[in-house]
A and B are shown apart, each in its own frame.
Chain A
Amino acid sequence: MTTAATTLAPSEPQSIDWQAIRRDFPVLDQEVNGHPLIYFDNAATSQKPTVVIDAVRHYYEADNSNVHRGIHELSNRATEGFESARTRIAQFINAAHPDEIIFTRGTTESLNLVAQTWARRELKPGDQILLTEMEHHSNLVPWQILAEQTGAELRFIPVIGDGEGLDLEAAHQLMQGPVKLFAFTHISNTLAVINPAASLCRMARERGIVTIVDAAQSAGHMPLDVQELGCDFLAFSSHKICGPTGQGILYGRLPLLESMPPYQGGGEMISVVEYKTSTWNAPPHKFEAGTPNIAGAIGMGAAIDYLESIGRKPILAHDQALAAQAVDGLKEAIPDIRIFGPKTGRAGVVAFDIPGLHSHDLVTMADRRGLALRGGHHCTMPLHKKLGVSSTARASFYFYNTSEEVDRMVAIIRDLYAKFGG
């Protein structure tokens, strides 16, 4: 078995054997509906390499036990695996301390945690919550709920053109208002825009605005350094970076985490419990009530080791090369196709609309040819409405995808358009 974790050191794109890396993913070696599987739904979830599957299996086969308060050998091993994952995740995003990493069920829970702890206590009527028009529902709906609870108002930085990016002048103007918090996506899951996170955070910090970065689409695809970004909070999921589902993290600057009320009550998050009152544990445990997803955290740690062995710079370059190839190929194949997002420098996502061919019909017929695309609103319904479409088809790439697969996708879509388009 070849695994990138054991055979690769961080390297430049040209020296990486992407085909060898592909063999680390057993799920990719299969036919679907009589055709070799082409998995282009990576923005929804990534596939898992053998090293991650093995780490989860090893935990359940050899170390399964509850963490932290057990003092027997299995509990020691489980705790070591769990906390060591936290340390590696902190290093992965250059957090100042592992205590700044809270384990959650994923990005959605991380964002809800901030909304219902720090933000619910701090916001009052007349305050503003600043978002962008390209947010995933998970970075929109929690703030709608919070606005309803606190009387704060929602404001949005506009998206320009056909989803080419944010209107940064408008962002600056909007931040002159009574904005208390600014939550934004690092990479749009629909537009493939890579937002200038560091300068947005700097702009917000100058106005004393707390920042929350949704890194669901960026954490596994490009280098991330929370200290360089200067954000207050950052969230991402394990399952989009080759780790298990049901697992994610919230990064928060330690002084903020220390000042925040707990999210949920229960075991682990307490210091002392009396019949009528309790006191809270220190972060991160204050925010981790109940038995956590231990296998998920261990698997996430293994996924991070695996990604680090490849390097996120070459991963980004690979994703971007495939996306550029897909955009060029689709435009050439279907002249009246509408492709959303920036003209240059897009992340590894291509969302498009073919006149006369609904995304769900296209995706159903592509599936018969072994091609896994996504059709729908990709949890960005308001953005789709702004762009004047109810749904789009989306291809999203990762480092185990190949240029040959992109060529095959273009050929399949060209064929479907010829048969059913317009």
Chain B
Amino acid sequence: MPNSEAETDAVYARLLQEHARQPLHRGRPATVAAEGHGTNPMCGDEITVFLTERAPDSFGEIWFQAQACALCQASASLMIRQTSPLDPAAALVLANEMAHLERMTPPDQSVDDAWRCIQHVLKTAPRRRRCVELPWIALENALRIPPNLD
């Protein structure tokens, strides 16, 4: 059954206030070891993801700069939380999955409120999948830069 107007309003309020307007690690960090870029041809939005380290076993912290919608920024926030405990190889696997949402199995909805909100919006606006994928595409691009072996 389609989401009601009130439900969507409530979800959007959460998306904006808790996930998009106060995202983790927004901005360019002092040290950038690698960066990846993503663009959304549907709306012109752009995002750049920065890694503070690029070693075989660590990418340090993920930061991002974006001119993007609430859905995209919430997805970036979710990305930073979900990848922080991972090593580069595992993060790349996850990024690759999330960058192609149409072919992934949705994770457990109880895991993260941002993810629950995102999935709710996608039910009513499935064409906005790319908004969610965008940060993950940028992360995948950053992680595909070979590690510094010095």
Report which A residues bind B (CB closer than 8 A). 33-34, 358-361, 364-365, 367-369, 375-377, 381, 384-385, 390-391, 419-420
Contact = CB atoms under 8 A, between A and B. Distances in A.
24 contacts: A34-B4, A34-B5, A359-B69, A360-B42, A360-B69, A360-B131, A361-B12, A364-B124, A364-B128, A367-B125, A368-B3, A368-B8, A368-B9, A375-B43, A376-B42, A377-B43, A377-B44, A381-B44, A390-B44, A390-B68, A391-B44, A391-B45, A419-B13, A420-B12
Nearest to A380: B44
A125 B58 CA distance: 51
A89 B20 CA distance: 50
State the 5 A-B residue pairs at the shortest beta-carbon distance, nearest first: A358-B69, A377-B44, A376-B43, A390-B44, A391-B43
B43 A390 contact: yes
Contacts of B121: 364
A408 B97 CA distance: 41
B84 interface: no
Interface of B: 2-5, 8-9, 12-13, 16, 42-46, 67-71, 121, 124-125, 128, 131
Contacts of A384: 44
B128 A360 contact: yes
A358 B8 contact: no
B125 A364 contact: yes
Given A361-B12, A367-B124, A376-B42, A33 B69 contact: no
Given A364-B124, A364-B128, A390-B67, A419 B9 contact: yes
Contacts of B43: 359-360, 375-377, 390-391
Nearest to B3: A368
B46 to A, nearest CB: 7
Contacts of A360: 42-43, 69, 71, 128, 131
Contacts of A364: 8, 12, 121, 124-125, 128
Given A360-B43, A391-B45, A365 B9 contact: yes
Q: Which of A361, A367, A375, A391 has the most CB of B within 10 A?
A: A361
